[in-house]
């Protein structure tokens, strides 16, 4: 039987899949997720029950909070000793790229910065 927490978490995931901002807000308001950007990034990286398109849209947001969560999300990936193609495949497997060029640019820039840190 599902606990109350599991029911709230399931509802939060559904809300996220329809509107990522409202989903994160719902999960933090119900204390299922802290407002810590690292924790939100790990939640998105784990991706359990989350729509990959919704993850991409959320991470591509231009709000400073979204950008910091994007950087934390990229840091969840381990790119050390991977060639560029392998690292890019791993990164792109965790979400679906949004259609907007500016969002894609922010995401690829965050990827490139982290890849270079992992492979000096």
Calculate the CA dihedral of residues 11, 15, 18, 23 and round it to 10 degrees. Answer: -150
- The tokens describing 32, both together, are 């299922």
Q: Which residue has the tokens 């000096």?
A: 120
Instruction: Answer for the pair 29, 23: CB distance below 8 angstroms, yes or no.
Output: no
- Cα distances (angstroms) measured from residue 58 to each of 14, 67, 68: 14, 9, 12
Candidates 21, 39, 48, 100; catalytic one: 100
- The tokens describing 97, both together, are 């790229």
- The tokens describing 61, both together, are 């947001």
39 catalytically annotated: no
Query: Catalytic residues, which ones?
Result: 100
């Amino acid at each position: 039987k599902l606990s109350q927490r599991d029911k709230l978490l399931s509802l939060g995931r559904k809300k996220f899949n329809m509107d990522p901002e409202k989903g994160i807000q719902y999960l933090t308001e119900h204390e299922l997720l802290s407002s810590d950007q690292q924790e939100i990034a790990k939640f998105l990286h784990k991706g359990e029950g989350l729509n990959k398109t919704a993850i991409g849209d959320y991470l591509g947001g231009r709000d400073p909070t979204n950008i910091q969560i994007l950087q934390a999300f990229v840091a969840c990936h381990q790119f050390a000793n991977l060639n560029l193609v392998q690292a890019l495949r791993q990164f792109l497997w965790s979400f679906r790229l949004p259609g907007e060029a500016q969002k894609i640019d922010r995401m690829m820039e965050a990827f490139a910065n982290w890849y270079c840190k992992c492979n000096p």
